[in-house]
Chains A and B, each alone.
Chain A
Amino acid sequence: MSNPLVDMSKPDTIFCIGTNMTECHPVAATGIKKAVARGAKLIVADPRRIHLAEMAELYLPLRVGTDVALLLGMAHVIARDGLVDEAFVAERTRDAEEFLEHVEAFTPEWAEGICGVPAADIETAARWYAEADKGAIYYTLGITEHICGVDNVQSLCNLALMTGNIGREGTGINPMRGQNNIQGAGDAGALPNNYTGFQPVTDPENQAKFAKAYGHAVDLEKGMTKVTALELCGDAIRAMLIDGENTVVTDPDRKHCEHALRSLDHLVVIDIFLTETGKLADVVLPATAWAETDGVCTNTERRVQRLRAAVPPQGEARPDWWIVSEIAKRCGIPGFDYTSAQEVFDELCSLSATYNGLDWETIDRGEYQWPVPFKGHPGTPILHQGEFVNGRGLFKRIEYRDPAETVSEEYPVWLTTGRRLQSYHSRTQTGRSSGIDYLLPAETLEVHPDDVAAWGLVDGGRCRLSSPRGAVEITVRATRRSPRGTVFTSFSFDDTPVNFLTGSGYDPVTQTAELKVCPVRVEPLPERVSTSG
């Protein structure tokens, strides 16, 4: 996030797109509820009439995967109506002229034709956001989990740059991260293109720094992404270490993923439960869980916070860093003689500009938001104040592209997936916490009541959901949250493994999977006949 969480109650206009915040980030959503209570205008763009949409003053029910069209339409209105923040654009940005010319073609009427949102509403949304003194954008995976995920994010950046809604309190472009330490995994350098602190691996200065730190010259090219690595399992990739990820359940296209992992010569999985992924491994190593582990995590607003152990490990479980270090030592790799999490963290801080001012002691009370470039630096709650990291903010000319697969005669319905409040990812954790099942006993497929009738389904009955990659059976739930022609379910339950269906494409830049959109067919299943007498 470019801005801190406390800023969420401060904007005059809040534009939420592709985020089911009340379910996925409920505590953050309370900030938005407060802003609305204070009189802020809330605009929500989402294919589903989610709870947040009901709170909104303006709801934009766009068709799945058409965010770019909507955002281009908004940019067009802002440019046409003279709502561009000229001073900001002149001082802080580049390529504005080309961009403003580019959006001339994309009228709200054009956008309506693609995304289905009435042109008049696109105009209103554009005006509210551009005219706000403080306009803020919030988004989640609904924006990034598409083949055009990068285009979506860039389109949002364009809007913020045009209107100067960035680098100030109560503004900004704010992605909400889904996992507790997904930000931290990137900060720590677990990326094929960056060392710790997002230092590009292709920069000779960084290469020299890490060659020195790790005692050996490192590759000058980026590594493969996980998606490519899974493609090449058994071919170029022969051995894999997977830490704490239930890849086969959470990744799209499960069959492909299982096949890939089975083709490896050697698979080592570190986890707290024997997951579906662990069952495919040659070696499974028990890690300590949350509340058993000392360490550090970074939240969605870049706040670096301490995790503390409260109970001893179960059985012989060990911290992940210890396990990885022991494997490394046995492979003859130098530099793994750590005796505590603190030593590991302090080494990480010393190697990244964003963390140079931090160490284990400094972060004790969670006061710092990175970058903290040197000791005594107060941290950076708001990014891009005064200047962008690379100097000027760059406008990008984005074009609309259709999703990887579109509905056809054979697969006439859009399936979109997401999370639910009560459960989390593959449920290795929530599924094993007592009481959660009371609220969420099993997964359902959310279908508009008119579609339930039109497709011959029964509310509460079973149906078969199929895509070109497979089929699952699931219970139907009639709800007006789903628009006509689009159905929704979550990917949390192993007995309805929806990722057998999804996974039709990837964003060419980030290789994020298209989990949000997938054409499917929905057919009724006959009721199971009861044989009890």
Chain B
Amino acid sequence: MTTHDHRTAEDAEALTARLTLDGVEVPFAPGETLLEVSRRHRKDVPTLCYDPRLDPFGGCRLCVVELEGSRNPVASCARAAEDGMVVRTTSETLEGYRKTLVEMVCSENRQVDVDPLSGYASQELRELADRYEARTGRFEGKRSGRSKQDDDNPFILRDYDQCISCYRCVRVCAEQEGDYAISVKGRGFDTQITVEFDGLLKDSACTFCGQCVQTCPTGALADRKALRHVDTPGEIEKTRTICTYCGVGCSVDVLTKGDTMVGVQPAMDGPANVGALCIKGQFAYDFVQHEERLKTPLVRGDDGELHPTTWEVALDKAAEGFVKARDEHGRHSIYAIASGRAPHEAAYTTQKFIRAGFWSNHVDNCSRA
């Protein structure tokens, strides 16, 4: 029996627990998994069924590490770190084992190279295939899964030929969304991800939050709206911003190719949402580049209709009306309403326009309706 077994729980808390990671002693926090400790120390342990936001699952076994005293390698994503452990994250045996696993997974899938527009995690399998040079077709043969191409919902492509049964979608739906819209049917090789009664997502509890799409590591579930832009020329660029809809203020990355908005992905490190989004933030973005956008200033002509004009003319006309009202009816005859949708700078300048311009407090915003 080693000495630390005699310590009380508080003692153990007070002392920093340590383990040996690839020959170096490192501290860890209570509750950390071997994978978390390894990642914190920049060990490149591969994973497939792992999503840091979800409960440990331990299905794909790619994350295996060698643990002294244990006959078989252990799944590091599901194993809690313990004081005194001796862990190796890489070795010839481990790499060989991992390569075989990736080869098997790849051989079951129709396509490994899916477009990055498919979803946030969609490149994970592709990257592993590159890393392990796993496109050998060694296990070519029967393919699992079946695509559900008759689900014509405009948001989520369901291509189960690409499914590797990591259950990340099912788990994100249940654990993060609490929606339980999709579930696992069958066992082993016949396993399939399905919705109730094999039906359409529309008829299920699905809220089209897109979380399953964003966590899928193969593109089996993919962002159908973004994929409309596969052929749009240009590299995908990401710009971090905040969702424009409700007051939760979810962080998102806007995906662009050149000057075109091609999609939205959740920011996994967003302070208010930690990767979560709803249907509006995820899919309702294309109003921005909609053809009906107002593109020029308009002023009302003598015919009573609104006509396009230049900024100069429109701004002069706008200012003229306020000056006239002030001169004829006094400074209290002018009122401004600021937007609850536009940024601070819009509301700030609007209230300053009234306070610095007409010395009154005749300003409000739309929170009253």
Q: How far is the CB of A21 from chain B (nearest CB, A)?
A: 10
| A237–B298 CB distance below 8 A | no
Q: How far is the CA of A177 from the CA of B287 in the complex (A)?
A: 22
Q: Is B14's CB within 8 Å of the partner chain A?
A: no
Q: Which of B238-276 contact A (CB under 8 A)?
A: 239-251, 254, 256, 259-261, 270-273, 276
Q: Is A251 an interface residue (CB 8 A)?
A: yes
Closest-CB distance, A207 to chain B (whole angstroms)? 10
Cα A310 to Cα B346 in complex, Å, equals 19
Interface size on B, residues (CB 8 A): 111
| Surface stretch bound by A, among B60-68, B111-119, B182-190, B359-367 | B359-367
* 0/1 interface trace, chain A 415-448, chain B, CB 8 Å (1 if under): 0000001101000111111111011000000000
**Nearest-Cβ distance from residue A332 to partner chain B, whole angstroms:** 8
Task: Determine if A424 and B364 form an interchain contact, defined as CB atoms under 8 angstroms apart.
Answer: no
Complex contact A296–B297 (CB within 8 A) = no
Contact of B294 among A238, A271, A291 (CB under 8 A): A271
User: With an 8 A cutoff between CB atoms, is B135 at the interface?
Assistant: no
Contacts of B322 in A (CB 8 A): 239, 241, 266, 268, 327, 331
**B277 interface residue (CB < 8 Å to A):** yes
**Looking across the interface, which residue of chain B has its beta carbon closest to that of A180?**
B244
Q: Which residue of A lies closest to B244 (CB)?
A: A290
B318 in the interface, Cβ–Cβ < 8 Å? yes
| CB atoms of A320 and B339 under 8 A apart | yes
| A285/B247 in contact, CB under 8 A | no
Let me know if A434 and B292 touch, CB within 8 A: no
A348 contacts B by Cβ under 8 Å: yes
A325 interface residue per 8 A CB criterion: yes
Per-residue interface assignment for chain B, residues 327 to 341, with 1 indicating a CB less than 8 Å from any chain A CB and 0 otherwise = 011001111111111
Contacts of A187 in B (CB 8 A): 344
A227 at interface (Cβ–Cβ under 8 A)? yes
Pairwise interchain contact A247-B366, C-beta atoms closer than 8 A: yes
List B contacts of A268 (CB < 8 A). Answer: 318, 321-322
* Contact A326 B315, beta carbon cutoff 8 Å: yes
Chain A window 87-131, contacts with chain B (Cβ cutoff 8 Å), 1 for yes, 0 for no: 000000000000000000000000000000000000000000000
Chain B residues whose C-beta falls within 8 Å of the C-beta of A287 in the assembled complex: 294, 342, 346
A interface bracket (residues with beta carbon within 8 Å of B): 35 or more
Contact between chains at A37 and B248 (CB < 8 Å): no
Let me know if A404 is at the binding interface, CB within 8 A: no
In contact, A250 and B285 (Cβ under 8 angstroms): no
Assuming A180-B242, A438-B154, is B348 touching A189 (CB within 8 A)? yes
Q: For the complex, give the distance between the alpha carbons of A282 and B305 in Å.
A: 9
Q: Contacting chain A: which of B27-35, B72-80, B81-89, B202-210?
A: B202-210
> What 1/0 mask marks residues of chain B from 289 to 302 whose CB sits below 8 Å from any chain A CB?
11011111111100
**In the bound complex, what is the Cα–Cα distance between A421 and B153 (angstroms)?**
17
In the assembled complex, how far is the CB of residue A70 from the closest CB belonging to chain B, in whole angstroms? 24
Complex Cα–Cα for A132 and B314 (A): 60
A190-B338, A306-B242 are contacts. A289–B293 as well, Cβ < 8 Å? yes
CA distance A242 to B354 in the complex (A): 12
A67 to B248, CA, bound (A): 25
Tell me if A236 counts as interface (CB < 8 A to partner B).
Answer: yes
Cβ of A238 and Cβ of B254 under 8 Å apart? no
Q: Would you call A223 and B360 a contact (CB within 8 A)?
A: yes
B105 CB within 8 Å of chain A: no
Q: Known: A296-B345, A429-B284. Contact between A25 and B246, CB under 8 A?
A: yes
Whether, in the assembled complex, A203 has its beta carbon less than 8 Å from a beta carbon of chain B, the answer is no
Secondary structure dominating the interface of B: mixed
Chain A residues near B356 (CB-CB < 8 A) = 214-216, 328, 333-335
- Given known pairs A244-B339, A272-B294, A429-B284, the reply for A327 and B315 (CB within 8 Å) is yes
A286 to B308, CA, bound (A): 11
| Cβ-defined contact, A27 with B276, below 8 A | yes
| Contact code string A189-204 (vs B, CB < 8 Å = 1, else 0) | 1111101100001000
B347 touches A189 (CB 8 A): yes
- Chain B CB count within 10 A is highest, among A192, A319, A424, for A192
CB neighbours (8 Å) of A515 from chain B are: 369
Of the candidates A195, A438, A513, the one whose C-beta lies within 8 Å of that of B369 is A513
A41 at the binding interface (Cβ < 8 Å)? no
Contacting pair A320 B346 (CB below 8 A)? yes
Report if A375 contacts B (CB, 8 A).
no
**Is A263 in the interface zone, CB < 8 Å from B?**
no
Given known A-B contacts A284-B297, A286-B294, A430-B280, A295 and B355 have beta carbons under 8 A apart: no
B99 contacts A by Cβ under 8 Å: no
A288 to chain B, nearest CB (A): 9
List, in ascending order, chain A residues with CB within 8 A of B363's CB: 189-192, 223
Q: Are B362 and A330 in contact (CB under 8 A)?
A: no
B306 interface hit (Cβ, 8 Å): yes
Q: Which residues of A contact B139 (CB under 8 A)?
A: none
> A428 contacts B242, CB within 8 Å?
no
Chain A residues with Cβ under 8 A from B127's Cβ? none
The one of B176, B247, B283 in contact with A300, judged by C-beta atoms closer than 8 angstroms, is B247
Name 19 A/B residue pairs within 8 A (Cβ), A-sorted.
A27-B273, A180-B340, A182-B247, A185-B344, A195-B351, A214-B355, A218-B355, A224-B335, A237-B362, A243-B346, A243-B347, A266-B324, A271-B294, A272-B294, A278-B298, A286-B295, A331-B322, A366-B270, A424-B284
Sample of 9 more A-B contacts, CB < 8 Å, known A236-B333, A241-B322 = A177-B246, A182-B247, A185-B365, A283-B317, A286-B294, A307-B241, A311-B254, A312-B259, A345-B345
